[in-house]
Amino acid sequence: MGSDLRLLQLSDPHLFGAADGALRGIVTRRSLESVLQHARAKHWNAQAIMLTGDLVNDDAGGYSTLKELMGNLGKPLWCLPGNHDDPAVMREQLTDPPFIIGGHHDTGTWRVIMLDSCVPKKAHGRLSKEELKRLQGALASAGSRHVLIALHHHPIPMGSRWIDSVALKHPEELFAITDCFSCVRGIVWGHVHQSHDSRRKGVRLLATPSTCAQFLPGSEKFAVDPAPPAYRRLILRIDGTIDTEVVRVEVDAAHSAKRAAGA
């Protein structure tokens, strides 16, 4: 119980079965490889990796790519589905360690709760009654542990009309529960392909960019941000504080040229 919990959050890799599958000009496999290479060189003391949705881009073959790239990293992979995932296929494909879908994880003084916010065949999210009940139970049984909650969809407005149209619906259902538990220290998500860091009632609210293409913050209509791929480093301290940063990863020249051509 006497050490900090170090995590990496990778989100929205949008993988394909084909090695050259691209999203908005970025070959997503190559982009994820660059992110993993950087993380292995700089922040590989993390105890686990959170994968917060859109693991594939509407292509079930992408799960094989994910297993190839991340199945032998030697770290637990805590996974959530996103709106571009097929949750049923995801559970069929990612059945074996190190992949763990959903649930909650206790390490030291922390509990990390992974919430499924997906609505089948919809871009927006919502927490089902069953998932809300599970959240309440996981918080009630956390004891003296601090809690970090992870989900795919954003529970607060991002100030971008188009992305906020596909946010978590009825986020008040989430906050009605978390507001009752002082152990909640942070909520982290993906989906928005951009960075965010704020506080609500003392709880840290964090959005993490994609390991591939980014969305332009504050845009009324859909727009791509030329910012590079990224991941989030988190240190969950024994005392309940959170140290975190978004780590940007510059890609190789060939990848940059491909990206620029397709943006």
For the stretch 151-189, pLDDT in tens is: 999 999 999 999 999 999 999 999 999 999 999 999 999
pLDDT at site 251: 77
The answer to whether residues 125 and 118 touch, using CB atoms and an 8 Å cutoff, is yes
Domain count, the chain: 1
For residue 108, the enclosing domain spans 5-262
The answer to whether residues 31 and 57 touch, using CB atoms and an 8 Å cutoff, is no
The answer to whether residues 189 and 208 touch, using CB atoms and an 8 Å cutoff, is yes
111 pLDDT higher than 90: yes
Q: pLDDT category, 244, cuts 50, 70, 90?
A: very high
252 pLDDT higher than 70: no
Nearest partner of 197 among 217, 178, 180, judged by Cα: 217
* Residue 93: partners with Cβ closer than 8 Å, 6 or more residues away: 60, 63, 64, 67
261 pLDDT higher than 60: no
Q: pLDDT category, 80, cuts 50, 70, 90?
A: very high
List phi, psi (to 5°) of 218: 75, 10
The answer to whether residues 23 and 212 touch, using CB atoms and an 8 Å cutoff, is yes
Q: What is the average pLDDT score of the chain?
A: 94
262 pLDDT higher than 50: no
Helix (H, G, I), strand (E, B) or coil at 69: helix
CATH of the domain at 246: 3.60.21.10
Share of the chain above pLDDT 70, in %: 95
